[in-house]
Every structure is written in structure tokens, then in C-alpha cells.
Structure 1
Amino acid sequence: MTAMTEEIHKLSERFLKMYPVKDVDLKPIINNLSKLDYDDSMEYQEKLLRSTVDHPIVQKYPPTISYCQRFLKRLITEIEDINLEVFDGLYEAYTNLLSQENRNTLNCGNISYCYKTYCLAPELTITLKETRSIISEGTTGMFTWQASHVLADWCQKEAARLNGKNVLELGAGLGLTGLTVIKTCNPASYTFTDLHTSVLKTLKENILINLCNGSIPESTEELTDGFKIPYENTRVSVERLDWTSDHVHSSYDVVLAADVVYDTEIISPLVLILKEALGKSDGATAYVASTIRNRDTFNCFRNTLVSNNMKIKLESRHTYQESPSQPESTIIIMQLML
């Protein structure tokens, strides 16, 4: 891959996951353009367009119109600032986005959802339908949180721990961790669980996008309870699980959870459901990734684990920062056993 192609690839990855426009480093792109003659410059700008706003994934699963608009406006401005001619296709795409925004404002009001595509490896992308709001429809589960990114990355690196295992995820949210595990770790089965109806519905849609190319197989029931599909060697299912009233009925080798430690009121039922799940199978292990937002809340979780005779076998500390303008988060992954 040439240096110029590599820069376009990097820009494409950031665009697809809606990396903050103000943090996108366009200097390498503009530097490349400044060295090209007219024909090569037009070709390079066309490649930029095809790799971002006109990307095949974007055509099917687009970011927000406002994000695409801000991105193109900045790109066009920076090209103009070095007195280069701008590829007509960039202007046309920007104008089209302005007209789409107006139509959506008139006909649909505020757009609740968008799609983000995360490039986790050269041949691995995960596309998620999600909302830009931290709290939506009374739940925080419609947003992909920091610990999910860290746990997904950790699972890829520690794939041997999950290979051939029956895996249960608590508080699966929109599915980033689970979809990553299914696509990279070859588990025997993977059960996503959550509580909120809207989260479960969107989670199932994300599973279909990534495991079934967005279509529902004939053998699959509608998006209701009992959702199950096969994916290669993995049995995939989604279940509603209320930690305060439901029980874990099947046995699992591994339990995963990301960003479920955020409220002291749910810590006791969380620990009890973890203990119940681990008690179903000898040698079962849980990996819980927690973003440290409030040290007292995390200490409450730790103390509740100890008081329920659960063993903290290992702890690892990680950091996550989406972009330079975003705050850096500390995430702790705990390995738990009985």
C-alpha cells in the first residue's frame, strides 16, 4: 500500500466511525494533493470521495447527514485554502447533503439514529445502528460506551480464552463486544442479553446487519423473544434478562460484561446474576470491563464481589480516548471466578 493510499485508508476508517471532524488530521491529505498535477489531483480527490461520503458502506448504512456535511465542508475548505481546484464531485456531494438535510428537517424532524462502522482489523468491520445521545428512550444502552471498545479489543487479543466456548454477555447494549467475539474468536455459542425493549430491538437489527447482511433468514422468527440464528460455527441468540427477577437457566463457560458498573443500586443484582451464571458450570470465568467514572461506585462493586465470595483472579488497567478533543477514560477488566 502506497503512502497516499494509506492516508486515504486512515481517513476512510475515521469517517466511517464518525470520528470528530475537528480532530480529523487532514494535513497528510492536503500535503499529498499539493504535490500532484491537475489530473492526478482530480483522481486523488475522487478517491477521497469514494472512500468517505460515497463509500459502499455509507450508501447502505450512513452516518448522520450533518456529520457528512461538516466533513465535506472542512475538506473542501482546506483544499481551497492551498489554491487548488476542487473536484466537482465534492461540491456536488456537499450540495446534495444540504438538500437532504432540508428534506429531512421538513418531513422527519430530528433523526434519532445513525450508523457507525468500526474497522477493527483489515478485513473486519462492525456496523452498528446507534444514537448520538448518551440517554435515549429512557436508557443508556443505545450508545456504544468506552468499555465496550476496550473489551472488544481485549477479546480479539485473547481469542483463545473464547474459542469453542459458550459465552453469555450481560448488558450487551448494541452488540459491539459480542459481534467482535463472534467474528474473531469462534465461540460455540454466544447469548446476548439486555433488558430495555428498544435496546433489544436495535441489538437484533445490528446482529442482522453484521451476521446476515442485513436480511432476516427464512428460518428466523421476527424480532421478538427467542431470536436465534447460526453464524458459521456459532449459535447466536438474544434474550431479555432482568437481573432483579430473572434467572440464568443455561450453563456458560464465559460471561462477559462491559460498562455495567455505573449505579450502586444495580450492583447487588449484577453480582448475584454473575454468581448464578458462574455457578452453572465448573471453571466458568467472567470478564467484566468497567470505566472508572466514580471510584466509590467501583469500590462498591469490588466489595460486593468479595462479600459474595467471588474471586477476583486478575485485573488489568486500560485507557481509551476516542480522539484528542475527547477525555481519556480508564477501564479496568476484572477476571472473576467462584
Structure 2
Amino acid sequence: MNTVREEIFALLRDYASLVPARFIQIPSNISFAEMNRCLVELIALNPHFQLYAPSNQYQRSFWKTMVRQLEDLLNRSGEEDEEIDPRILDHYLSTSPTSGPIPGSSAPSLRGQICDRGLPLGEPPSKSFVTYFWKPKLNQVQEHSHQDMVNLTHYRSSTLEESRTTIEGGTTGLRTWFASHMLARYLIQNPSIVEGKCVLELGSGIGYLGIIVASLQQLSPKVSSSLWLTDVNEEVLSQCRRNVQLPCNISSTHKSVEFRVLDWEEVLHSNVKPLENLLQNQINPDIIIGADIVFDPALVPPLVAVIALVLQFGSKSGIQRSAIIALTVRKAETFQSFLDHGREKGLLFEDIPLPEAKGFEFVDAVETGASADNVRVLRITLHRT
């Protein structure tokens, strides 16, 4: 099934990106038979989701919602000869910790076990594979003969294993944040920024942007691209490596991806030569990227100092280096501190217009309060006197 209705693709995208089931609605213009078939073929039996599945908690919540909505759709259709595909029910039951009636029914014994978000009470969110669909720039301009249809072959996907808890073990790096999606959109719309370049990412987290950048570099005919992914937390960086190297991701075929522990606070040490050697000689990037790395006021001075250190010299390609940083403004004081410290170091800040969502299927409904309204994407350069 390479071509599907837009509404069906939206549901597939929502499931893959772990949109809470309470926000997912079966399209009203789709027949019961078609919806039944698509849920089986595109989700329940999808080989990708069998290898890289969402958590059992999420799957229970999703299928509970789908079964209830399918029952409603069947009742409205009046098609007495139709029934919910047994494979849907079997798949749902396989995710349940205990046997019992299908959630969504009126069984009081089960209602007491399920919270309003569709997760079993007392069961914390577990690690889960999440998949994001995105369309390379070349495919964004292709015309479709049927505008209400989506050709799945025009899309790429990026899959990660991440924690859906906000903070796990004291680090925010084990999940993907909203600003990362905005920067990914911008880079996908402007792939020349990373094609044929040496890219350094600060605060790579579990590798979402790294997968996007490595994929864009692999999709380019240029072969001189390289990518350095850095983070201060070794556990997070190990997860980053595993995600980038997942066989389902194009990034797994990239031969020039390096993973390196990098502590920004080293720039404030009396002996900064080792860090200078790493950044200027060993990595020698053409461009720096980073997403949602401006959140802790204590980290602003070392972050700014690292950016300024890298931008001091031209890249090996002879062009002036720049940094592209996406951030969510949670506290105005922290953002202003970032700007003030940067200007003291001679940094220039330019706002980049946020990319339109058309052609991009990134969804992140988990980060409470996050929206494009409080996301900034900045191009940073060093003032030359």
C-alpha cells in the first residue's frame, strides 16, 4: 500500500509519533471496511512497527481508542455483515498485561485499571520507539495526480528509542524536544546548509537532529560530508549512537559520523588548549547546530564561550563559520542572558523565519505548552572588526 488518503496518513503519522490516543480520531469520511483494512495493513501488521514498536502502554491506549471508534463507526454504518478484524483485537490483547474485556467497553473491572490517558494505573511510561515522517525537499515540489492522496514512497522516516518521561535520571537528553523539530524542518527545506559540510552539533541528545542531518548528507551526491555529535552525558551519547545506527535509518549508512563527549565548561578552565585543538583542528566544522540547549542559566556562559571559540576562525572550506540554534523560550530571563553574553563575546544574532509545516509530518504533543509561538531559530555569526 504505497498510496493512501491524507486522512489515513495523518492517523499513521500520529501513531508513529506517539500522539496521545485521546487526540486521535478516525476520519468521518472513511468507510468502516477501509478503516478496518488500513489499521491492519498500515499499523498492526506493519513490519517497521513490529521491529520498532511503541511501548506497550502506548499501544494499549491507541488500540483501546481505535476499537471503540471502530465500534461506533460500524454502528453508524448499519453494515450488519461487517465486524472488527480479529487481527486488530488479537494485536490489542497481546499488549494487555491481563486478559479481560476490550477497553472501551462498559466493563467496570477494567475501567478501574485504566487512567484517563489510556495507560494502566501505576505503570510508568517505558522507553519506546518513535518514528517521524518527513519529505525531502526534492519530493516536496512533486505534483500528485490526486491532491487528497499521499504517496508514502515520497517520505523518509527517522526512528528513535526515547524516554517519554520529561526527565529521566536527571538528564533531559533522553527524549526529543519541540525546538528540534523546528530546526529539522528548516534544515530539510535548506539541505545545502549541511550537504558537503562538516557539521558539529552541540547537545545532540538521543540523536534526532543527527539522524536528520546524516540522512540529508547521504541523500546528497556530495561525498565530503561529515558530522560530529556531542553531548556531556555518556549515557545519552550512547543512546544517540544506537539511534543513528538503527538499520531502518538512512543515517546508519553514513561513514563519517563521530560521537564525542563534550563538556562546555572546559572552555572556562585555565588550560583551554585541549578543547581548542579538538574544536579547531580535529573537528574544524563548517557549521554548528543545536536545539533546545539554552534552558539552564548556569550553562549559558560556557555555551556562548564554546560557540565564540569555534566561530573565531574560518572553516577548512574557507567560508565564515556560523551557528544555527533553535530554542524554546521558556524563561525570558534565560533567553536574554544568552543574547547578552553572546553580544559581549562579539556574536551577532539573526532571527530565521520559522519554516511552514506543509510537507513536514513532525508531531510532538507531549511537551506541554510548546508551540511555534515561543520557538526561535537563530543564525549566529562573529562580528568582524
**Normalised TM-score (structure 2):** 0.73
Number of the residue aligned with 2:311 = 278
Q: Which runs of 4+ in 1 moved over 4 A?
A: 1-4, 99-102, 210-214, 317-321, 323-326
Number of the residue aligned with 2:231 = 194
Number of the residue aligned with 1:160 = 192
Tell me the distance in 1 between the aligned counterparts of 2:297 and 2:86: 55
Alignment equivalent of 2:70, drawn from 74, 79, 85: 79
Tell me the distance in 2 between the aligned counterparts of 1:150 and 1:167: 18
- Is 1:130 paired with 2:165? no
CA positional deviation for 1:50: 2.5
Residues 117-137 of structure 1 deviation map (CA, whole Å, 9 limit, x = unaligned):
001123310000100111111
Q: Is the 8 A contact 1:230 1:236 kept in 2?
A: no
Number of the residue aligned with 1:93 = 91
- The alignment covers a number of residue pairs equal to 307
User: Cα RMSD between the aligned structures?
Assistant: 2.9
Higher strand share: 1
Matches within 5 A, 1:1-338: 5-28=5-28, 31-34=29-32, 41=33, 44-82=35-73, 83=75, 85-99=83-97, 112-121=126-135, 122-185=154-217, 186=220, 188-210=225-247, 231=254, 235-245=256-266, 247-248=275-276, 249=278, 250-282=283-315, 283-317=320-354, 322-323=364-365, 327-329=369-371, 330-338=374-382
Number of the residue aligned with 1:37 = none
Equivalent residue letter for 1:78: Q
> What SS does structure 1 have at the residue aligned with 2:170?
coil
Show structure 2 runs of 5+ residues with no match.
Answer: 101-122, 136-153, 268-274, 358-362
CA positional deviation for 1:5: 3.8
CA positional deviation for 1:328: 4.2
Show structure 1 runs of 5+ residues with no match.
Answer: 35-40, 103-108, 215-228
CA positional deviation for 1:33: 1.9
Note closer, same or farther for the CA distance 1:202–1:81 as it changes in structure 2 (3 Å cut): same
Tell me the distance in 1 between the aligned counterparts of 2:126 and 2:191: 35
> What SS does structure 2 have at the residue aligned with 1:98?
coil
Tell me the distance in 2 between the aligned counterparts of 1:80 and 1:241: 53
Equivalent residue letter for 1:275: A
Tell me the distance in 2 between the aligned counterparts of 1:332 and 1:167: 20
Over the matched positions of the two proteins, sequence identity in percent amounts to: 26
Q: Is the 8 A contact 1:21 1:71 kept in 2?
A: yes
Q: Higher RCO, 1 or 2 (CA under 8 Å, sep at least 6)? A: 2
CA positional deviation for 1:7: 2.8
Note closer, same or farther for the CA distance 1:97–1:276 as it changes in structure 2 (3 Å cut): same
Equivalent residue letter for 1:79: L
